[in-house]
Amino acid sequence: MNFQHQHAAHCESGVISNLLRHHGVAMTESLAFGLSSALSFAYLPFVKLSGLPLISYRMPPKAVIKGLLAPLAARFRFETFRSPEAGRRRLDALLAGGQIVGLQTSVYWLPYFPPDMRFHFNAHNLLVYGKEGDEYLISDPVFEHPVRCASADLQRARFARGVLAPKGLMYYPQAIARKAVDAAAVRRAIRKTARTMLAPIPIVGVRGMRTLAARLERLAPGDPRSVDFIGHMVRMQEEIGTGGAGFRFIYAAFLQEAAQLAQMPQLSAFSERLLAIGDDWRVFALRAARMVKGREPVDPAALAQLLRAQAAQEDAFFRALRAAV
């Protein structure tokens, strides 16, 4: 099959941009991420991962894929399965028919991931573009080159249990009516992202950052559970799904593209501004990691202060961006 794998920063935006390019759409990873309005922030204390709250820097799984349907006037088929065997048969039938298929899987059960990179995260996306013998040919965008995976291992990854259990989810396009992105779609996407980041909800956007900062301030410096919370926060930011800084960098690249697509050169300045905000997210993560590793005293209040500074920056940024479009 004439399929071209491209490495990407994030799995879902990488998978959908690779898949759309295969079907003739000029789609970069950053354009897919920005056009789907996938940038966000959410602090969800009622959703637990290993007993600790979910902290997300992007919209929920499948948001990038589904967010591109309207701009491209596209229809995708999404399928889940009650049994692993039914899921395997359906995948094999689609591959035999020449279809390239996106899958949602668990990272933990994919053997081509190095052991120290495997963790129980069930919203990892990849593409399957063929099968040879008992091995699937996989385009996993977070890897530089295509990989292979034994059938039994992929089955386990597709049907892992727990939070965000994939239930064998697969997806593929049935129709793509529009293969070029217009300026109006770019403007709508930017306005939607600004609305999300400025939403009057205490767990979403910049307000969510401030709520998390208040939670950090309540941590006791000498309590081992405080270190666990801070370590979890770093992992959610920098290891699970690209992270706070990474998503800001992807969106900054989108704004550069949008400056051309929407004929709005002023968006280039916003791109530069967001790159600086992303750098500050990395500073925040580094400071937190140093505390977790014992290289400096655990100081939740200092981290809360840094997080509030990030919230202030993003508040001002998205208000200005909304006004610009």
Task: Kindly state the tokens that stand for 259.
Answer: 């400056």
Residues 257-300 pLDDT 10s: 999 988 999 999 999 999 999 999 999 999 999 999 999 999 99
In whole angstroms, give the CA distance from residue 249 to residue 271: 9
Residues 142-154 pLDDT 10s: 899 999 999 999 9
Residue type, 273: R
Q: Which residue has the higher pLDDT, 119 or 150?
A: 150
Report the percentage of the chain scoring pLDDT > 90. Answer: 83
In the prediction, which pLDDT does 183 show? Answer: 93
Q: If pLDDT is split at 50, 70 and 90, which confidence band does 116 have?
A: confident
The residues near 83 (Cβ < 8 Å, ≥ 6 apart) are: none
Average pLDDT along the chain: 93
Where are the CATH 3.90.70.10 domain residues in the chain?
A: 11-176
In the prediction, which pLDDT does 210 show? Answer: 98
In whole angstroms, give the CA distance from residue 172 to residue 78: 7
In whole angstroms, give the CA distance from residue 236 to residue 137: 29
Q: If pLDDT is split at 50, 70 and 90, which confidence band does 71 have?
A: very high
> pTM above the 0.85 mark?
yes
Coil/strand/helix, residue 98: coil
In the prediction, which pLDDT does 97 show? Answer: 95
In the prediction, which pLDDT does 13 show? Answer: 94
In whole angstroms, give the CA distance from residue 184 to residue 171: 27
Report the percentage of the chain scoring pLDDT > 70. Answer: 98
Q: Quick one: DSSP state of residue 97? A: T
In the prediction, which pLDDT does 149 show? Answer: 97
Give the CATH fold of the 11-176 domain.
Cathepsin B; Chain A (3.90.70)
In the prediction, which pLDDT does 42 show? Answer: 94
In the prediction, which pLDDT does 239 show? Answer: 62
Residues 52-63 pLDDT 10s: 898 989 998 899
In the prediction, which pLDDT does 120 show? Answer: 80
Residues 215-250 pLDDT 10s: 999 999 989 999 999 998 888 887 655 567 889 999
In whole angstroms, give the CA distance from residue 99 to residue 106: 22
Task: Kindly state the tokens that stand for 137.
Answer: 């040919």
Residues 159-205 pLDDT 10s: 999 878 999 999 999 999 999 999 999 999 999 999 999 999 999 99
In the prediction, which pLDDT does 240 show? Answer: 58
Q: Which residue has the higher pLDDT, 241 or 12?
A: 12
